[in-house]
Amino acid sequence: METVRECKTCTYFINHPHALEQALPGFSALSSARGSVRADTGLCQLKETFYVARDSCTDYQNKMLKNAPPGKTP
């Protein structure tokens, strides 16, 4: 099955609450990474810009592909 080229599967995209709190110092103060209002908003570490997991761009890099052993593709 072909991977959908969206931010949610991109190696540069982080939207786990703990990862966001690490990436944004002070963000944990009011626990804002864990509210449902954040939904699927995350941070692209390449562009240092916020996107939703459904966004996409030409710099997409599949995180599974990056981590796959040599000779294997997801």
Partner 1 sequence: MGIALWHFLRGFTLLYFLSVIIFAVGGWAHAENYNLEPPLVALLLGLLIANTMTIPPWLQSALRVEYYVKLGIILLGATFPITLIASAGAVAIGQASFISIITCVTIYFSATRLFYLDRRQAAVLSVGGSVCGVSGAMAIAAAVGAKKEHIYSTVTLVVIWALVMIVALPFAAQQLQLPPGIAGAWIGTSEFADAAGFAAASTVGKMAGNEESAIKAFTLMKVIGRDIWIGLWSLIWAIIATTVWNKTDQKRKKGVDKGEIWRRFPKFVIGFFLASLTISLYTTTQDSQTFETVIKPELLAPLGALRSWTFIFCFLSIGLSTRFGDLKKVGGGAFSAFTLGVIVNVILGFILSVYIFGNYWAQI
Q: Which residues bind partner 1 (CB under 8 A)?
A: 16-18, 23-43, 48-52, 54-57
Q: Which residues pair with 50 in a beta bridge?
A: 43
* Count of Cβ atoms closer than 10 Å to residue 15 Cβ: 20
> Of the two residues 18 and 74, which places its CB atom closer to partner 1 in the complex?
18
| Gyration radius from the chain CA atoms | 14
> Of the two residues 30 and 73, which places its CB atom closer to partner 1 in the complex?
30
Query: Which element (helix H / strand E) includes 50?
Result: strand 49-52
> Of the two residues 48 and 71, which places its CB atom closer to partner 1 in the complex?
48
